[in-house]
Structure 1
Amino acid sequence: MPGIKQPQWLESVRQQAASLGSPHLRIGVTGLSRAGKTTFITSLINQLENHQRGLLARRAPFDRLEAVRWQRDGVEQPFAYLQALEALAGEPARWPESTRDLSRVVIDLRFRQTGLLKRLQSTRSLRIEILDYPGEWLLDLPLLDMDYGQWCEQMRAWLDAEPRCSIAGPLREALAAIDPQAPQDAAQLAELAAAWTDFLQRSRSEAGLSRNQPGRFLLPGSGIAAEMLLFVPLLSANRHTQGDAGSWWSACEARFRYYRDYVVKGFYDEHFSRLDRQILLVDMLGPMDAGQPALTDLKAALESVLQSFRYGRDSLLSRLFRPRISQLAVCATKVDQVAPGQQRAVQQCLEDLLTDSLADVRHGGVRVRGFPLAAVRATRQEGDALVAGLEGQSGWVRYQPGGVPEHLPLDLQISGPELLQLRPPAGLHRNEPFPQYRMDDLIGWMVEGHAL
């Protein structure tokens, strides 16, 4: 009323309520190839859209969630949610296509207010923005901290070791035979770049290796001209090598520098400088099944990623992007492929693989949580066995999955769980929550502290 001064505390609450407005939460979802990012994001939207029917209805703050709106109009490069739903609900059901380019997800949530704030503002909105991009691009992060000569040295070390040495075959000898100071042969360079791309594809598919650089040789994405990718590692070069204009060194070094400074740094600088939280998805079971070389390569790949994502004062990202990420979720995916009693063991093995790196991230002030996940549960338990459908086949199989150790051995020698290629469960529908494992816990972590 006019002439009546409002209590100081009430005015403070009003100002706080006004400032809350419609907060914006930006979450990065990253993961290496085959981690299941597309299925994860599809399940995330599905769980939110069906919050009243699923496990979310039993937990705060989703017991106050009134409305959910997934946006596609007005969103640049929207996530292909409807196409992913069509694949999962098909007959036969199939997994969505893997992420091949940058896409965005924008979800608006509206919560009922409680307590004193209810008198000042009946509802509170939260906008969640998720950035999705190919896992192959994630492996380019370490390039930001090296020059072309250092990369050549690193590639020579990688190709000298198995299984890359055998996979590369004659390509390794061809790259080692090139004199960096010799005049460049444009036709030969194009052939070698194509051969390098094929080598990266076979390293991933035949040996289950994770470190495949440059990542955009595998999935360029939109806006990447073919000439940007015309460089290869010169295995006889090192960080002290130099070359005149027109030489192999000059051509490859210039294109590498452009790739690093404009393609890699430009992408991360534009899209990662404002993230609030980060989710890292990891297919741990695939490398465990593939054996020690794949696990060793996964460990090195994830350590290089976490080195770049270290948020302390001296980290690469702090120098380049000044991030404000305060929380990181590290998630072992597809854990429904093993017995329910061993699903947490898969997560423990992932954290064992990354013990030192996660300690460094925590020391930098970031809170780390681990979540074993099945974004869409493909199996059901019957007694001591699992029942599921196989990709490309009709009907169902009943099987007992192989074992997973409680902790990962230090030498990474492990007898894999002998995985089957499973298809999604039948009968999935957009208007029913997908069967999942711990997606509700992760979604709760995502909005923690932002929906109060």
Structure 2
Amino acid sequence: MNALEAHVNPLTKLTEEARLSLANLADAASGLAVPSLRLGVTGLARSGKTVFLTALVHNLVHGGRLPVFSAAAGRRMTGAKLQPQPDDAVPRFEYEAHVRAMVDKRIWPESTRQVAELRLTIDYESASYFYRKLGPGRLHLDLIDYPGEWLLDLPLLSKDYATFCADALQRARAQGRSEVAAPFLKALAAADPDARENEAAAQDLAAGFKSYLAACRADAHALSMLPPGRFLMPGDLDGSPALTFAPLDIPADAAPARSGTLRAMMERRYEAYKTHVVRPFFRDHFARLDRQIVLVDVLHAINAGPHAIADLEVALSEVLAAFRPGKRSWLSSILTRRIDRILFAATKADHLHRTDHDRLEAILKRLVTRAEERARFKGAEVDVIAMAAVRATREATVKHRGEELPAILGTPLPGERLNGETYDGEAEIAMFPGDLPQDPESLFRHVESASEDARAEFEAAQRDLQFLRFRPPVLDTTAEGLTLSLPHIRLDRALEFLIGDRLA
């Protein structure tokens, strides 16, 4: 039993599991002719979910260079094409628009703001002599894209309102957040939980809480633990009572609220948020996944400082606690679907020279150590990689003061700044981004230490790192004028781990 399932009402849990089993039975029945694999793609803000999905489809459809992806490398994959998606009530992932943005306009597509889906059908020849004799194989790959912030809502299902309040305010008052949270905490101090319920007071507190969460997510802080997730991307629920609540200053073991009070009002809306927002997402999307990739912008957290790194570690632990990991079997895939493979990917590896990629991977592995151990204990396979779904830079060697340095070449986005210079989005530059620490533990010692010396050491190392955002690359064309697929770093390794065994 995971953290999400622990404290849920037994009758509610039984009902939910029955509905999940029916949904899984329907999926299994539709997959009798052609099997399907539901792959969840998520990550916290700016981690590159949309770019990853677009690049994955583009490389499979256009025959990209995928030397580690055995089905493609061995020429057993004979084709891949988009199909109508199976879920009519789920928005389609706008693949074509995202390709146009990156290839034609050389701009990055807009980030994920809702659940979206895309079905890709892969035709292949089995690597097994026996299965090859039975004829060609086919797999429906259903790609489910959803914001990582929504994933951080799932643990709320096991928390009552008082526990949510205690957790949220403990974070708000912690070092690294208290200054950002000061306006909200000031308004909260003036609020009386036992006062009569008041719509204006509820709206003011909710607005202050949302402003605090938005400030935490800004580049200067880059914090990750920001539930409730829909507060930052409300969609058509914007302004609804289910999104108009905030934590109140009450103890975690507080007595039940009196009817008609501000606290009772907030508690009612918190429960409505769980019922009408979180639980449907879990039931209709998350609990039906077979495999999962979690994209992580480690470099952004390092840039923001030790509080961002510590917050990211907690967020990744919460993320994996919400998963339902386990070994895959025919019966379990029908009745109690489990995620049997989870891949954590440190994105934007193209912002570093390849000599630093192993270090980036080691830092992510350290970030997810505790979460990874829990998933393996449940029987799931877990892997960690450093990758760039779309490679925006090239590598070079430059001379600086007589010393040769490994550099990257790319076109910074308009408005990016380095050493006092602002770039216009047209000029290509060469830069040395600096080196990540060779020992990832040294980074975490700085994060966990409260001493001024450790903090000064971390900040000195941080100053040596320079990360810019680059425009998507200009795609090469063949002699016949055909545009090549989007370049990448280790997208093929990700594909091999996530779906390689299903094409064997």
TM-score by length of 2: 0.79
Aligned to 1:5: none
CA separation of 1:239 and 1:428: change in aligned 2, threshold 3 A: farther
Q: Secondary structure, in 3 states, of the residue corresponding to 1:60?
A: helix
Residue 169 of structure 2 is aligned to residue 156 of structure 1: yes
Distance in structure 2 (CA, Å) of the matches to 1:61 and 1:370: 22
Q: Secondary structure, in 3 states, of the residue corresponding to 1:268?
A: helix
Counterpart residue type for residue 420 of structure 1: L
1:389 to 411, 416, 422: 411
For 1:337-356, what aligned pairs fall within 5 Å after superposition?
A: 337-356=351-370
CA separation of 1:421 and 1:209: change in aligned 2, threshold 3 A: same
C-alpha deviation, 1:101, in angstroms: 0.9
Q: Is the 8 A contact 2:85 2:118 kept in 1?
A: no
1:418 to 450, 453, 466: 466
Aligned identity (percent) is 33
Q: Secondary structure, in 3 states, of the residue corresponding to 1:110?
A: strand
Aligned to 1:273: 287
Counterpart residue type for residue 102 of structure 1: V
Residue 57 of structure 2 is aligned to residue 25 of structure 1: no
For 1:13-412, what aligned pairs fall within 5 Å after superposition?
A: 21-51=33-63, 53-56=64-67, 59-60=70-71, 63-72=75-84, 76-91=90-105, 93-113=106-126, 115-121=129-135, 123-205=136-218, 206-222=220-236, 226-309=240-323, 311=325, 322-383=336-397, 384-392=406-414, 393-408=425-440, 409=442, 410-412=444-446
C-alpha deviation, 1:225, in angstroms: 6.0
Aligned to 1:433: 485
Larger mean Cα displacement after TM superposition, 382-391 or 401-410:
401-410
Larger mean Cα displacement after TM superposition, 391-400 or 401-410:
401-410
Q: Is the 8 A contact 1:28 1:132 kept in 2?
A: yes
Q: Secondary structure, in 3 states, of the residue corresponding to 1:207?
A: coil
Distance in structure 2 (CA, Å) of the matches to 1:175 and 1:90: 49
Q: Secondary structure, in 3 states, of the residue corresponding to 1:54?
A: coil
Q: Secondary structure, in 3 states, of the residue corresponding to 1:280?
A: strand
Q: Is the 8 A contact 1:272 1:323 kept in 2?
A: no
Counterpart residue type for residue 79 of structure 2: A
Counterpart residue type for residue 126 of structure 1: L
C-alpha deviation, 1:55, in angstroms: 2.5
Q: Is the 8 A contact 2:411 2:470 kept in 1?
A: yes
Structure 1 gap ranges (5+): 1-18
Q: Secondary structure, in 3 states, of the residue corresponding to 1:434?
A: coil
C-alpha deviation, 1:142, in angstroms: 1.9
- For each residue in 1:185-227, what CA deviation from the matched residue of structure 2 results, as whole angstroms up to 9, or x when unmatched? 2112112212211111111103111111211000123466622
Q: Is the 8 A contact 1:428 1:434 kept in 2?
A: no
CA separation of 1:69 and 1:295: change in aligned 2, threshold 3 A: same
Distance in structure 2 (CA, Å) of the matches to 1:322 and 1:173: 46
Q: Is the 8 A contact 1:182 1:247 kept in 2?
A: yes
Q: Is the 8 A contact 1:23 1:450 kept in 2?
A: no
Count of residue pairs the alignment pairs up: 425
CA separation of 1:293 and 1:369: change in aligned 2, threshold 3 A: same
Residue 484 of structure 2 is aligned to residue 443 of structure 1: no
C-alpha deviation, 1:411, in angstroms: 2.2
Counterpart residue type for residue 395 of structure 1: A
Distance in structure 1 (CA, Å) of the matches to 2:35 and 2:339: 16
Q: Secondary structure, in 3 states, of the residue corresponding to 1:196?
A: helix
Counterpart residue type for residue 160 of structure 1: R
Counterpart residue type for residue 435 of structure 1: P
Distance in structure 2 (CA, Å) of the matches to 1:312 and 1:370: 18
TM-score by length of 1: 0.88
Q: Is the 8 A contact 1:102 1:221 kept in 2?
A: no
Counterpart residue type for residue 410 of structure 2: A
Aligned to 2:419: none
CA separation of 1:162 and 1:141: change in aligned 2, threshold 3 A: same
Counterpart residue type for residue 398 of structure 1: A
Q: Secondary structure, in 3 states, of the residue corresponding to 1:449?
A: helix
C-alpha deviation, 1:86, in angstroms: 1.5
Q: Secondary structure, in 3 states, of the residue corresponding to 1:450?
A: helix
CA separation of 1:308 and 1:58: change in aligned 2, threshold 3 A: closer
CA separation of 1:134 and 1:179: change in aligned 2, threshold 3 A: same
Q: Is the 8 A contact 1:110 1:126 kept in 2?
A: yes
Q: Is the 8 A contact 2:70 2:500 kept in 1?
A: no
Distance in structure 1 (CA, Å) of the matches to 2:133 and 2:446: 58
- Aligned-residue CA RMSD in angstroms? 2.4
Distance in structure 1 (CA, Å) of the matches to 2:338 and 2:227: 27
